[in-house]
Structures are given as C-alpha cells and as structure tokens.
Amino acid sequence: MQPKQSATRSPAPSSEHPSRGGVSSPTHRFRESWPLMLGLAVVDAFGLFLAYAVTINGNGLAAIVILIITLLINWVFLADRLYPIRWLTPGLVLMAMLVLYPLVSTVYIALTNYSDGHLLSKDQVLAQFTAQFYPPKDATSYKLTVYRNASGDFLLLLDDQKGRVFTGTQKDGLKPYTPAGPPPPNIGDYQKLETAQTYQYLTELSKLSLSGNGRQIQVTGPDAAQELLPQYTYNQPNDTLTDNETGVIYKPVAGTFTAPDGNQLSPGFTAVVGFGNFAKVFTDPNVTGPFLGVFIWTLVFAAGTVFLAFSVGLGLALVFNDQHLPFKSLFRSICILPYTIPGFISVLIWVGLLNPYYGPLSLAIKSIAGTAPDWFSNGTLIKVAILLINTWLGFPYMMLLCLGALQSIPTDMYEAADLDGASAWSKFRYLTLPLLLVSVGPLLIGAFAFNFNNFTVIDLVNQGGPPIPGANTPAGQSDILISYTYRLAFAGGKGADFGLASTIAIFIFAIIALITIFNFRFTKQLEEVMS
C-alpha cells in the first residue's frame, strides 16, 4: 500500500535567496556585488599605474605581463564558472610575479647582448647620437653676451664680428638684431650678465642649442659661441646612421652601429642575439676555460662539503648515541654551538684564524712546519680552507639528523644481528647505514643542492679569489657557478655582462632541476627497497 501523498506543496523559492534557485532583486545583487566591483577597481587602477610606470622606464615586457595578470584577475572574479579559482588567485598571482616572470625575464636576457655598452634601447642610443654636433671647417665663431630674466631664462646676443648680430633663445631660435653699437644693459625684460656672472651659469648655458640657417649654435665659453652641424643623421628606411663629418655609414650589427671596416660606435643598444651567449660558453676560450674550471670546483665543493659534514656528523652521532657515554647531553650541546652562531660570523672568525700573518691556526702550523700556509693566495689551499670552514658550519646539522634517524632504528634488529655474530662494521654497513639513508638520503641531496649555490661562504672567505691566471672573465679559483655569475653580472671590473650571467644562471637552474628529479627518484627507490 502506497503512502498517501500530502496535499501541501513545497514553498516557492524565495526571491531573496538566489542560492536556493530564486531570482535575486536588484538591491540584493547590488549589496552582493559592490564590494567585489570596488576591489576590482582598485586592482585595475593599481595594475594600470604599475604598467604605465614600468613602460616609461623602458620595460615593455613587464608591462604586458602586468596587464595580462590584471585581465585574468578580472576574468576569474567576474565569471561565475571560475568561482573556485578565486581562492587560488592570490597564490597564482604571487607565483606569476615572483617565479614565472623572473624565469621568463632571465631566459629573455640570456638571448640578448644586455651588458655594459648595451644597456640602452635603440631609440635612446639614436637620441644620443643625433644630439651630437661637430664644428665644420667654415664654422662661424661668435662673441657672446648673455642676458637673463627674472624667470631664469637666457637670451644670447651673438656678434660674428662681420657686421651681423643675432639674438637667440632656446624657444625662439635665432633672430637678427638691428641696433648697432655695444651690447645694451637690457633687451626687453632680459638683464645683461657680466662675464664674471656668466661663469656660474656656464653649465646651463652649455646645454643650450640654438637653431638657425640649418646649423646649431652652442655656447663654448663665458663669452664665446660657435656654429655646429649634426654629427650623425639616422636614415630610418635603411636603418643606417651616417657620420656627416666623415661620410661613413654605420649599420646595426648585434646591437652596435658598425662601419664597413669594422669600426663600432659606442654605446650600443640591447638586441636579441639568439643563442650567442650559450655558444660563447662552449666555444669562446675566454669563457670556456674559466667556466669548466668553476663548474668542476662547484661539483667538488658541493659534494665534498656534504660528504665531510655528513661523515663528521654521523661519527659524532654514533658516539653520542651510545647509552653508556657519560655527559651525553653536555657533549651534544657543545657540538650544536656552531649551528647556533650566524654563519657569516663563523666564516669571518675562520678567516681571522687562517690569516697567514697573525691567525692562531696559521701561526701554529708555522711553528711546526717552519712556514705559514698562504691560504688566500694559493688556489689549492683556499679550496681546502673553504671545505674546512663549510664542514664546521654543516656538521651540527648533520649530527642532529643522524641522531634522530639512529634513535628511530629498532634495537631488536641489532640484537638479531648480534645473535648472528655480526661484527660492528657489518652492522654499520648492512644495517645502520641503509636504514639511515632512508630518512637522511633526501636531505643529503638537498644539502648538495644548497651548497651548489652557497654564495655566502665563497664570497666572505676570499671573494672567489685568487684570480685564474690568464682569464679574461672575472673568475677566481675558488669561485663556484653562482659567485661566478654574480661577478659576471655586477662585479667584473671589466664590464658587467648580464646576458652571459643569465645564461649561466639557466645552466645552474637545469643542474638543480636534475638534482631535484634525482632526489625524487632516489627517495622512491629507497622507499621501495626498505618497504
């Protein structure tokens, strides 16, 4: 028997609750949407302002990225079907600004010649060249008298000493001046300046350029001016720059205006050169030699640091894990002290200890060997010193990791090994170390990746020195890739090369990515072996 249906109907959806299927009123929709619209208006205004600010500074790529992000934010918050993504938008925006944009920008710079001498845009370089003038052979020299009004504007009275007199301002150019005789005390509201007074305005006057008769007249002294002609003329259809004095035509080649005989004008401009920087790393002997040496030392430094720090830390952990060791807590606390001191302080202390003239450690070695090691001038000794210092900085961390891992190993496994007659070395090799690597192995790979980019120690110990003999790039014998990149970009002394530095940064990124992939695969393999 079927139950009797109720005669009462379900209430109609309320118009005040659009989430329940009804239609919201205009007042309700306004109350719901005005905070969102206000927030988007603020975001749009800030995005447009930021895009404008970076555009006037010549960074069009950043402006495009900002506008795209702003449009995406509007799309996400205005499209109902993208409602779930709204909660991810702040994180996605930050990822785009702090991760994706620097990555894209680095790749772009690596494909350009962006470096000292090529920092400006093409328009900026052309503006510099077309603003240059030269005195032709038939140039007229003028006797100059300077006038100045209350607003700080200048008027120049020019006498070519051949019967022609002109007045000129920056705004109006040259005009004939008919009254004869000596310069009057004033012309209109302009008051005459004595020669001694003119000296204090000489910098401003030298920037004035008056146009007349197809030539430029420029102030060359407190009482002298001269006719000048434009040094260069730019032919936009042919994209050439002509030297009006010599007649030589320059064409842009890889961001530099170059003459047929190879002569180049400076400055150049930023231009895309393709994979030229990548090829330079492998083909240019001035870059290849230092790069290979720095790359090998980077691997040795990262691997050696991890191996030494892990060995010392594991050894101490094995000792401190012994239940019969007295004062264990005291010894553990003492060994953690290097980890509690800021790294840069420890590095500077070690630099003082290794000083060959007054360092206690160097003096102790001198008392035994008869001579103090020259740590900072010898390429091999500085590497030994850096490994020693970095081991000191890293072993407390490794000791803590190993202590935790050792205490998680079940004791019954060692009891079973004792019953089987296993020696201490066998238990360590076949039991302790494999179980230890399950938890510590990924951290060791992470420590390798960290030390691969450990700029602080390298720079504080010896700033990457001593220099590599014969290297034409700012590379030192103790430099690793990250410090070498920094010197190429900022501290070369021979000119910063941002394009080449970005190229090496991409190599570093690729290496770290490979290490990360290996870390995941290694971790998975360990878990499969021990499961």
Q: With 60 as the cut, is the pLDDT of residue 494 above it?
A: no
- Tell me whether residue 24 is exposed, middle or buried, using C-beta atoms within 10 angstroms of its C-beta: 0 to 12, 13 to 18, 19 or more: middle
Tokens representing residue 497 in the block: 């090369």
417-464: pLDDT as tens digits: 888 888 888 988 888 888 888 888 888 888 998 999 899 999 999 988
Q: 386 and 453: one domain?
A: yes
Q: With 70 as the cut, is the pLDDT of residue 492 above it?
A: no
Q: 226 and 313: one domain?
A: no
Q: With 70 as the cut, is the pLDDT of residue 236 above it?
A: yes
Q: Which of 230, 265, 296 is the last residue of a domain?
A: 230
| Side chain identity, residue 510 | A
Q: With 60 as the cut, is the pLDDT of residue 528 above it?
A: no
Q: Read off the CATH number of the domain in which 217 is found.
A: 2.40.430.10
SS3 (DSSP) at 80: helix
How far is 438 from 426, CA to CA, in rounded Å? 18
244-301: pLDDT as tens digits: 989 999 999 999 999 999 999 999 999 999 999 999 888 888 778 888 889 999 999 9
Q: 224 and 294: one domain?
A: no
Confidence tier at 27 by pLDDT (50, 70, 90):
low
Q: 221 and 317: one domain?
A: no
SS3 (DSSP) at 140: coil
Q: 148 and 92: one domain?
A: no
In a domain, 249, yes or no: no
Confidence tier at 31 by pLDDT (50, 70, 90):
low
Q: With 80 as the cut, is the pLDDT of residue 14 above it?
A: no
Find all residues with CB under 8 Å of 81, minimum gap 6, and list them: none
Q: With 60 as the cut, is the pLDDT of residue 152 above it?
A: yes
Q: Read off the CATH number of the domain in which 103 is found.
A: 1.20.58.370
In a domain, 363, yes or no: yes
Q: 413 and 510: one domain?
A: yes
Q: 143 and 105: one domain?
A: no
Q: 64 and 164: one domain?
A: no
Q: 384 and 526: one domain?
A: yes
pLDDT at residue number 69: 86
How far is 406 from 434, CA to CA, in rounded Å? 11
SS3 (DSSP) at 165: strand
How far is 255 from 125, CA to CA, in rounded Å? 10
In a domain, 117, yes or no: no
Whole-number mean pLDDT of the chain? Answer: 84
The residue segments making up the domain with residue 190 are 133-230
191 and 147 Cβ atoms separated by less than 8 Å: yes
Task: Name the more confident of 65 and 187.
Answer: 187
- Average pLDDT of the segment spanning 480-501: 79
In a domain, 124, yes or no: no
In a domain, 461, yes or no: yes
- Average pLDDT of the segment spanning 132-139: 84
Buried/exposed 332-342: b ≥16 CB within 10 Å, e otherwise:
beebeeebeee
Q: With 50 as the cut, is the pLDDT of residue 7 above it?
A: no
Q: Closest by alpha carbon to 233, among 223, 245, 241, 225?
A: 241
How far is 65 from 67, CA to CA, in rounded Å? 5
Q: Which of 61, 95, 110 is the last residue of a domain?
A: 110
Q: Closest by alpha carbon to 28, among 43, 16, 41, 11?
A: 16
pLDDT at residue number 339: 83
In a domain, 521, yes or no: yes
List phi, psi (to 5°) of 14.
-75, 140
Task: Name the more confident of 364 and 323.
Answer: 364
In a domain, 75, yes or no: yes
- Average pLDDT of the segment spanning 234-242: 93
In a domain, 408, yes or no: yes
Q: How many domains does the chain have?
A: 3
Q: 49 and 184: one domain?
A: no
Q: Read off the CATH number of the domain in which 304 is found.
A: 1.10.3720.10
